[in-house]
Chains A and B, each alone.
Chain A
Amino acid sequence: MALVAFLLLSLVAIAGALLVVMNRSPIYSALSLVGVFAATAVLYLMLSAPFLAVLQILVYAGAIMVLFVFVIMLLSLREDESGELFGLPTGMRRLTAVVLSGLLLAQFAFLGGTMVVTGKTGTPPADGEALGTAVALGERLYQAYLVPFQMVGILLLVAIVGAVAITRRHGRGLEGHMGGEEEQA
């Protein structure tokens, strides 16, 4: 029962990931990525991490993907990569990419295969109480991981300020300065 659900979900996730990589238009890639994130959220539920599942939907499928779709719409891209399947100019780069990713996949397959054969990590304990509830995760975050938690807040603030500073067009900030140099050159 759980295995069937897992297989279906991983099928959805892998198909969505392949669509992300192989779609020609970025907007379809973004929508496929939302599917991958949703499947991942259900996987988190299966792994008794309900709080992270909600967070995954809210932060990834909600905030991050909305940002992606917004930027894709804003840029109004031309179909630059039309023509070839993956839009690679030379055979050498295509060969390199295939060899490198194939090597990585083979390594993962070997690792996973040995894990299955030897059963080193073992099966998880049968479904007892939920591990990652909001209460449990919150206690851990506010006690053992208090300082990193505060630093994440500072990081988000710096990211917001940085994003505004980078995209500001006619400001006296860094962007306007660099734009001026560009015109002189």
Chain B
Amino acid sequence: MPVPVEYFQILAGILFAIGVMGVLFRRNLLIIFMSVELMLNAANISLVAFSRSLNNIDGQVIVFFVLAVAAAEVAVGLAIIIDLFRKEGTVDVNRVRLLRG
């Protein structure tokens, strides 16, 4: 008896909402970044579940691309965070005022 695909969608929605909560609540840039990864992960679960229910592999191909883009994004994002920490000495988003008008 396979698990209905709706359950996977609900799980993906809950994980996505928790990720949004992290981005909105936290001030630590690293944890905000991890929450973004959490949201990407939730979207991937949703894609794979639909790929299974439609019996079409294209959803899994998109997940593959999302994985690659996430890896690139993490590399550049962490580089920016390291550079920011060198300049400002903090990763608290409230104390970073470089781009504040």
Which residue numbers of A lie inside 8 Å of B, CB to CB?
A: 1-3, 6, 10, 13-14, 17-18, 20-21, 23, 26, 29-30, 33, 36-37, 40, 43-44, 46-49, 51-52, 55-56, 59-60, 63-64, 67-68, 71-72, 74-75, 77, 80-81, 86-89, 94, 96-97, 100-101, 104-105, 108-109, 111-112, 115-116, 119, 121-127, 131-132, 136-137, 140-141, 144-145, 148, 152, 155-156, 158-160, 162-164, 166-167, 169, 175, 179, 182
Contact = CB atoms under 8 A, between A and B. Distances in A.
Contacts, number: 252
Contacts of A64: 37, 70-71, 74
30 contacts: A17-B19, A20-B31, A20-B34, A26-B34, A36-B41, A43-B45, A47-B48, A59-B71, A67-B75, A77-B91, A80-B92, A87-B26, A89-B94, A97-B24, A101-B17, A123-B4, A124-B52, A131-B60, A132-B57, A132-B60, A137-B60, A137-B64, A144-B61, A155-B69, A158-B72, A159-B73, A159-B76, A162-B75, A167-B79, A167-B82
A29 B31 contact: yes
Contacts of B90: 80
Contacts of B65: 148, 152
A38 to B, nearest CB: 11
Contacts of A1: 1
A145 B15 CA distance: 29
Which applies to chain B's interface (DSSP): helix, strand, loop or mixed? helix
Determine the interface band of chain B, counting residues with CB < 8 A from chain A: 35 or more
B13 to A, nearest CB: 3
Contacts of B52: 47-49, 124, 131
B4 to A, nearest CB: 5
